[in-house]
Amino acid sequence: MIRHFLRDDDLSMAEQSEILDLALRLKADRFAERPLEGPRTVAVIFDKSSTRTRVSFAVGIAELGGNPLIITTADSQLGGKETPQDTARILERQVAAIVWRTFAQSGLEAMAEGTTVPVVNGLSDDFHPCQLLADLLTIRERRGDLAGLTIAFVGDGSCNMAQSYLLAGATAGMNVRIASPSSFAPAAAVVSDATRIAASTGGSATLFTDPVEAVTDADVVVTDTWVSMGKELETRERLAELGKFQVTSELMAHASAEAIFLHCLPADRGFEVTSEVLDGPQSVVWDEAENRLHAQKALLVWLLAKQ
Of the candidate residues 67, 229, 254, 256, the single one contacting ligand NVA (CB under 6 A): 229
Query: Among the candidate windows 27-35, 113-121, 153-161, 290-298, which touches ligand NVA by CB under 6 A?
Result: 153-161
Per annotation, catalytic residue among 4, 7, 54, 101 = 101
Does residue 123 touch ligand CP according to CB under 6 A?
Answer: yes
Per annotation, catalytic residue among 52, 177, 292, 294 = 292
Does residue 96 touch ligand NVA according to CB under 6 A?
Answer: no
Residues 177, 235: Cα–Cα separation, whole Å: 25
One character per residue 108-147, x = contact with ligand NVA (rule: CB under 6 A): ---------------x----x-------------------
Per annotation, catalytic residue among 52, 54, 128, 294 = 128
**260-263 and 41-46 beta bridge pairing:** unpaired
**41-46 and 97-101 beta bridge pairing:** parallel
Separate counts of helices (H) and strands (E) for the chain: 12, 9
Residues 15, 303: Cα–Cα separation, whole Å: 11
Type of residue at 264: C
- Which residue lies nearer to ligand CP by CB, 52 or 294? 52
Does residue 264 touch ligand NVA according to CB under 6 A?
Answer: yes
One character per residue 62-101, x = contact with ligand CP (rule: CB under 6 A): ----------------------------------------
User: Alpha-carbon torsion 165, 17, 129, 10, what sign?
Assistant: negative
Q: From the centroid of its chain, how far is CA 181?
A: 22
Burial of 36 (0-12, 13-18, 19+ CB in 10 A): buried
Residues engaged in binding ligand NVA (CB under 6 A) = 123, 128, 159-161, 224-225, 228-229, 264
